[in-house]
Amino acid sequence: MSAYIAEMDRGGMQDRVDGIAHRARSRLGTGKLADYIPALADQDPNRFGIAVCTNDGRVYAAGDAQEVFSIQSISKVFLLALALRACGGELWSRVGLNPSGMPFNSLSQLEAEQGKPRNPFINAGAIVVADHLVSAFATPAQHIQDVARRLSGNPSILIDRRVLESEWQHRSRNAATAYLMKSFGNIANEVDDVLYAYFACCSLGMSCVDLARALNFLASAGYARCADEQFVTPALARKINSILFTCGMYDAAGDFAYRVGLPAKSGVGGGIVAVVPGKLSVCVWSPLLDASGNSVAAQYALELLSNELASNGT
Ligand code: DON
């Protein structure tokens, strides 16, 4: 059993997490696997994991919380935090701050809006953010892998080469997105270099425990406990949470805000990370997705957690 589990508390939060895992399992079987790349289409649809990291650093986990999965678009949170640390607010002249109301890989607004993506959490926005990081770092993919390791305290986190290869072979839509933006002057580097950095980040393999710990800085006013560093300023953590709240769940952001009411980011690997500012971060993973690309069982688990925290006055 890993050191993470050894440090888990068995008090009220653990009972709560166990109860939520039990109830959320009733939603397994609903939705469909991501099938845009073969490497994700062969996931076990019955997996379910949840990990809560409270701001004192304790982790409460249940189900397949230690199993590594493809973080996909959850990586857009790392990308954004790093770009804002490296380049500050100049990013916002190239990427917007409003929900798109469109699927995450849609191209239709880009042409009409001169190649400026609506926000940093749709694919087009994350590709512009990746372009910033290609300009700022000699080896951006390596840098993000290192940051994920540092923030989670897990030195064995890796980019999954099989997923990366699959992303690269099926890159047509993201490549079209990047070239369209380049035609408007909104991509500075070679498209292949930018796409490689973007796909490498999507291909990071992490567990619910890793992600709950790595993104806890958003609940802790920017302080990353595992790394023992102020990773972003309190003001920046608040801003990132605001963008997560309005844009983190794509065209379902409004529905999710109504149901759950927390800043959150999903990925087509089936993971969702959510933040209760000042209290805790949580990651839930289950591979079957709804039509917007968000995990069905993970959303339900977060709804249960949010209801429990509210009724408990937490
Ligand atoms: O670029 C893509 O389309 C995928 N690698 C990531 C998309 C994703 O995770 C959107 N999430 N819900």
Nearest CA to ligand 1 atom 8: 73
Q: Which residue in 126, 154, 144 sits closest to 212, CA to CA?
A: 154
Return the structure tokens found at 140: 């951006």
Average pLDDT over residues 4-14: 59
Q: Let me know: does 24 contact 286? Beta carbons within 8 Å.
A: yes
**Nearest residue by C-alpha to atom 12 in ligand 1:** 267
Known active-site residue 250: yes
Mean pLDDT to the nearest integer, 281-308: 97
The token duo for 212 is: 């709950």
Q: What is the pLDDT of residues 143-190, one digit of tens each?
A: 999 999 999 999 999 999 999 999 999 999 999 999 999 999 999 999
User: Is the CB of residue 276 less than 8 Å from the CB of residue 309?
Assistant: yes
Distance CA 270, CA 287 (A): 4
For position 20, which CATH number holds?
A: 3.40.710.10
Report the alpha-carbon distance of residue 197 to residue 225 in Å, rounded. 27
**With bands split at pLDDT 50, 70 and 90, how would you rate the model's confidence at 87?**
confident
3-state helix, strand, coil in the chain (%, to 5): 50, 15, 35
Residue 76 appears among annotated catalytic residues:
yes
Total tally of structural domains belonging to the chain: 1
Residue 9 has pLDDT above 70, yes or no: no
Q: Give the range of the structural domain holding residue 212, as residue numbers without chain letter.
A: 3-311
CA–CA distance, 182 with 252 (Å, rounded to integer): 28
- CA–centroid distance, 123 to ligand 1, in Å, is 7
- pTM, two decimals, is 0.94
ipTM value: 0.96
